[in-house]
Structure 1
Amino acid sequence: MASSSRALTRFGAAATRLSVAEAVRPYANFATQPILRSPAAISNAARPAVFRQFARTYANASAPAPKKKPGKIRTTFKWLWRASYLSFIVGVGAIIYDGYLDRNPDDQFTPDPTKKTLVILGTGWGSVSLLKKLDTANYNVVVISPRNYFLFTPLLPSCTTGNIEHRSIMEPVRQILRHKKAAVKFYEAEATKIDYERKVVKISDNSDIKGTINETEVPYDMLVVGVGAENATFGIPGVREHSCFLKEIRDAQAIRTKIMDCVETAAFKDQDSSEIDRLLHMVVVGGGPTGVEFAGELRDFFDEDIKKLIPEISPRFKVTLIEALPTVLPMFSKQLIDYTESTFKEEHIEIKTKTMVKKVTDKTVEAVVTNPDGSKSTITIPYGLLVWATGNAVRPLIKDLMSQIPAQKDSRRGLAVNEYLVVQGARDIWAVGDCAVAGYAPTAQVAAQEGNFLARLFNNMAKTEALETRINELSSNLNLKPGNVTEITGEIEGLEKQLRHIKDIKPFNYSHQGSLAYIGSEKAVADIAWLNGNVASGGKLTYLFWRSAYLSMCFSSKSTRLFITYDYINKLLARNRVLVALDWVKAKLYGRDVSRE
């Protein structure tokens, strides 16, 4: 018995030097021995020591190992991942819901035929901004335009190189009108004449497929003219015949086709060296935002895509920007002008300022350059592609209307309007956008604000008319119902108070929000109005701001009603915004499409 006790004691001591798992296993084996099955076999002195050792070992084996607390960085990333995952799920759901609302709008009702007929000409910035804010239940609204879509023109230069697909910056007008409260009529037609004496608009069908009726008249009570302007050639010979303009979708498509024609022809077998230099010389006339952005997009296209696909001709590619003024981007600050010019120099884009184009042929541009000493010299520039991106001219429709109105005889650049955008000398006619002369630059930003102003004006006019009608009805009932004089008088006073508030609409005042321009190499310049001054910036961070700003400005025809954040999500999840963002991602991952068509 003494030897057994000593053995058990030595075993307990050895167990402390083993691992927990190894220490517990021998006790299970010893439990099968006869000595442990007989409690009397263990002395009273040895029993407590053995049991205490067994208890300690068993407790250590059964206790869970202490868990190591995760660090703060790991916890932060864990919550960030969860938030990102949740945001992705919510975003996808919101996009699906937004698309459902777009495809399933609320039912519309037919407006009262006794109400006034409001005719809107054009589907540009001014007209579409008016339509989006206008309460169509107050009028019989008719929209007339030769194109059945709205075009987001700031991103048009990106379409010429395949960075953005043209469908992504087009929004069907009927899609916009379908989401209005009251039904709106739309005619895809060209307005050929405005007879302001008879208050009718003559329209003609300009589509390729003609019906039995090609011309007709549309009467109006109120007319908004927003037909824009056409490209100005300044009477320079050959411009209209040999240049590409950049104002419509078909212009961007024509430029894209011609770029690839020049590239593929230059890569043709045994092509003459001088002809290759001519074909790969792209000339842009106009140093405004459109011309500068197109030059930057063109340079990126060759550096990032053509250079990889056709490396043998890429070093001979050249871009020249011609501007008649002393600087490009004259609406920007001098700091940003200098930054743009230095960036173009790094990108090997040649800028020719103080250069006036005098003649254009199918292969050359003749221009007069004013030298630093004041002397002038004539130069001839061979080109493969010539893009004309400067100046606006009055459309024939506007010229004809101006000739009918004596008060417009001194106006040269468009319809002169007053502070409420009413065409001077005409009844019930308003004008917005590039066809109107309101003392502001002909930009999309001005046209959009003019359209929003007219929407508020027309909505107030309708409310005013309804209140005045109600006041007249109540006033006539004062003598018929003498017992209700106090009640009727109180209602009239309340309506008159509303009327005074509604009538107090201030004249149109343009608020400049700033100017943006892309200059290539993922750089942009921005001159943004901030408080009482301007903030000027340029570079890659400004490029990200340029993209986010243009993405947020893309139009949307629907009004998403998702929980309480519908205003934010509507701004974020517009159809065109999603398409433009996907185009940017696709071009970054797979490159621009170099197909000819």
Structure 2
Amino acid sequence: MCFFFIILYFNIFMDVGYTVQEVEDAQKIRRTVIDCFERASLPSVSEEEKKRILHFAIVGGGPTGVEFAASLHDFVNEDLVKLYPGIKDLVKITLLEAGEHILSMFDKRITSFAEDKFRRDGIDVKTGSMVVKVSDKEISTKEMKNGGEITTMPYGMAVWSTGIGTRPFIRDFMTQIGQINRRAVATDEWLRVEGTNNVYALGDCATINQRKVMEDIAAIFKKADKDNSGTLTVKEFQEVLDDICERYPQVELYLKTRQMNDIADLLKEAKGDVAKESIELSIEELKTALSKVDSQMKFLPATAQVASQQGTYLAKCFNRMEECEKNPEGPIRFRGEGRHRFKPFRYKHLGQFAPLGGEQAAAQLPGDWVSIGHSTQWLWYSVYASKQVSWRTRALVVSDWTRRFIFGRDSSQI
């Protein structure tokens, strides 16, 4: 019997003192926010110190940083100001982003809407600000728009949302398998950890090392050249194209990017003005035809959507393992004989949301469909609830939302 060790790791973001990996971590951050208001309300605190304590700085203008800034703004302006009306005008929220825009991975329409909305809401969006130092009370940034000038701002609470970190357990595991100088565990397209036989990794602790076409060009040519003529016809290449696209998805993506109808158009580029029926390529000409294909390779984002699809994929593979011993369903092996036991994992992007506060959200869905506004927030509620693991959890989530609409957010430190 084989034993499979699955690594699953989610890490959302970090503030200066906490990591957000569990519900308890989020509760600590909420208590810290409330504590800032408590300390700023003390009569012995000076006006300048109150402004520092009530300055909340979020580093990173990606989806996590934007959502946190929006949620914090709503929490402060809808709930906390009712309890601390005397200091409401001293509250400041700053969003720091090293790039030119926040939400740079979204459509430009969403980026523009989010920046305009944040400025209307009073959230200070500083783009082109790279954080170079964080002390207990101050953040130093390099302002790209001012020739790299270093500026310093005081803060009461800082949240770091520019990426993910690696847990000590994962670092120790990577050391044991010889993957020392990496930020994530390297796996193949079947999510199997490189250098192991029965260890699988998924989630944002891992990254897929997708094989390059140019690394296997000789094996591809040999497999396609069934008559061993030393040249490759369009028909011969077409017969293995489906397996090539399954094993090397960058080929299919490259054809779509170039708006080519079939592989013959690509091969014709390498051969010149020749009729498709008479195209015969040598291995060197095939290398020329596929030389730019690997430029289309992309790394998967470290999101729950990717991890969820990976988990579903692995579950199906494990359940069908005995069956696939007899009837392999994967593509042809270009570096060996026979076929692979399973098709490689392929991520299907189903869209992404960015809650922007004030019961508004932005969505970028497949087909270049962009939706922004209040209706999109309700769409986000629907998707979020539908992704819960049970009806009990869905009911609890919906009841929490309902209580918030009626009574506001919980402002206690319990």
TM-score clears 0.5:
yes
Question: How much has 1:228 moved relative to structure 2?
Answer: 4.4
- What is the distance in 1 between the residues matched to 2:20 and 2:176? 31
Partners of 2:137 and 2:156 within 8 A in 1: yes
Question: How much has 1:270 moved relative to structure 2?
Answer: 4.4
Match of 2:312 among 452, 464, 469: 452
Partners of 1:244 and 1:388 within 8 A in 2: no
Q: Does 1:584 align with 2:354?
A: no
Partners of 2:11 and 2:20 within 8 A in 1: no
Q: Does 1:413 align with 2:183?
A: yes
- How many residues of Structure 1 are paired with residues of Structure 2 in the alignment? 315
- What is the distance in 2 between the residues matched to 1:505 and 1:376? 51
The structure-2 alpha-carbon separation of the partners of 1:426 and 1:546, relative to structure 1 and needing over 3 Å to count, comes to: same
Alignment-mate amino acid for residue 543 of structure 1: Q
Superposed CA offset, 1:242-292 (max 9, x none) = 444433322211111111111111112243111111111111111111111
Which residue in the other structure is 1:320 paired with?
A: 94
Partners of 2:7 and 2:202 within 8 A in 1: yes
Question: How much has 1:504 moved relative to structure 2?
Answer: 6.7
Question: How much has 1:338 moved relative to structure 2?
Answer: 0.5
Alignment of 1:160-175 (within 5 A): none
Which residue in the other structure is 1:403 paired with?
A: 175
SS at match of 1:247: coil
Structure 2: gaps spanning 5 or more residues: 209-298, 331-339
SS at match of 2:394: helix
Which residue in the other structure is 2:355 paired with?
A: 518
Which residue in the other structure is 1:385 paired with?
A: 157
Partners of 1:280 and 1:316 within 8 A in 2: yes
SS at match of 2:368: strand
Which residue in the other structure is 1:425 paired with?
A: 195
Question: How much has 1:231 moved relative to structure 2?
Answer: 6.0
Greater mean deviation of Cα atoms: 504-513 or 289-298: 504-513
TM-score (norm 2): 0.71
Superposed CA offset, 1:3-32 (max 9, x none) = xxxxxxxxxxxxxxxxxxxxxxxxxxxxxx
- What is the distance in 1 between the residues matched to 2:132 and 2:61? 17
Question: How much has 1:306 moved relative to structure 2?
Answer: 2.0
Alignment-mate amino acid for residue 314 of structure 1: K
Question: How much has 1:401 moved relative to structure 2?
Answer: 3.2
Q: Does 1:338 align with 2:172?
A: no
SS at match of 2:82: helix
- What is the distance in 2 between the residues matched to 1:591 and 1:404? 49
Partners of 2:324 and 2:342 within 8 A in 1: no
The structure-2 alpha-carbon separation of the partners of 1:400 and 1:421, relative to structure 1 and needing over 3 Å to count, comes to: same
Superposed CA offset, 1:210-236 (max 9, x none) = xxxxxxxxxxx322222345868xxxx
Partners of 1:293 and 1:517 within 8 A in 2: yes
SS at match of 1:393: coil
- What is the distance in 1 between the residues matched to 2:18 and 2:128? 22
SS at match of 1:299: helix
Identity of aligned residues (%): 40
Question: How much has 1:309 moved relative to structure 2?
Answer: 2.6
| Bigger Rg, structure 1 or 2 | 1
- What is the distance in 2 between the residues matched to 1:426 and 1:515? 34
Which residue in the other structure is 2:321 paired with?
A: 461
Question: How much has 1:296 moved relative to structure 2?
Answer: 0.6
Question: How much has 1:315 moved relative to structure 2?
Answer: 1.6
Match of 1:355 among 129, 139, 144: 129
SS at match of 1:413: coil
Match of 1:248 among 12, 22, 43: 22
Partners of 1:243 and 1:388 within 8 A in 2: no
Partners of 1:355 and 1:368 within 8 A in 2: yes
SS at match of 1:577: helix
- What is the distance in 1 between the residues matched to 2:42 and 2:166? 42
The structure-2 alpha-carbon separation of the partners of 1:594 and 1:397, relative to structure 1 and needing over 3 Å to count, comes to: closer
Which residue in the other structure is 1:394 paired with?
A: 166
SS at match of 1:455: helix
Which residue in the other structure is 1:437 paired with?
A: 207
Superposed CA offset, 1:426-461 (max 9, x none) = 111111111111231111111111111101111110
Match of 1:506 among 334, 343, 359: 343
SS at match of 1:226: strand
Structure 1: gaps spanning 5 or more residues: 1-115, 118-220, 233-238, 469-498, 557-573
TM-score (norm 1): 0.50
- What is the distance in 2 between the residues matched to 1:313 and 1:395? 39
- What is the distance in 2 between the residues matched to 1:543 and 1:228? 24
Partners of 1:230 and 1:394 within 8 A in 2: no
Which residue in the other structure is 2:217 paired with?
A: none
- What is the distance in 1 between the residues matched to 2:328 and 2:20? 47
Partners of 2:10 and 2:21 within 8 A in 1: no
Partners of 1:245 and 1:388 within 8 A in 2: no
Match of 2:82 among 308, 324, 332: 308
Partners of 1:285 and 1:390 within 8 A in 2: yes
Match of 1:555 among 362, 382, 389: 389
Question: How much has 1:501 moved relative to structure 2?
Answer: 6.1
Partners of 2:328 and 2:342 within 8 A in 1: no
Partners of 1:354 and 1:370 within 8 A in 2: yes
Question: How much has 1:554 moved relative to structure 2?
Answer: 1.5
The structure-2 alpha-carbon separation of the partners of 1:453 and 1:330, relative to structure 1 and needing over 3 Å to count, comes to: same
Alignment-mate amino acid for residue 350 of structure 2: Q
Q: Does 1:277 align with 2:47?
A: no
SS at match of 1:592: coil
Question: How much has 1:327 moved relative to structure 2?
Answer: 1.5
CA-based RMSD of the aligned residues comes to: 2.2
Question: How much has 1:543 moved relative to structure 2?
Answer: 1.0
Which residue in the other structure is 1:596 paired with?
A: 413
- What is the distance in 2 between the residues matched to 1:390 and 1:400? 23
- What is the distance in 2 between the residues matched to 1:361 and 1:273? 21
Match of 2:40 among 263, 266, 272: 266
Alignment-mate amino acid for residue 589 of structure 1: I
Question: How much has 1:388 moved relative to structure 2?
Answer: 1.4
- What is the distance in 2 between the residues matched to 1:539 and 1:230? 25
Alignment-mate amino acid for residue 452 of structure 1: T
- What is the distance in 2 between the residues matched to 1:228 and 1:307? 33
Partners of 2:203 and 2:304 within 8 A in 1: yes
The structure-2 alpha-carbon separation of the partners of 1:414 and 1:344, relative to structure 1 and needing over 3 Å to count, comes to: same
Alignment of 1:560-575 (within 5 A): 574-575=391-392
- What is the distance in 2 between the residues matched to 1:442 and 1:352? 25
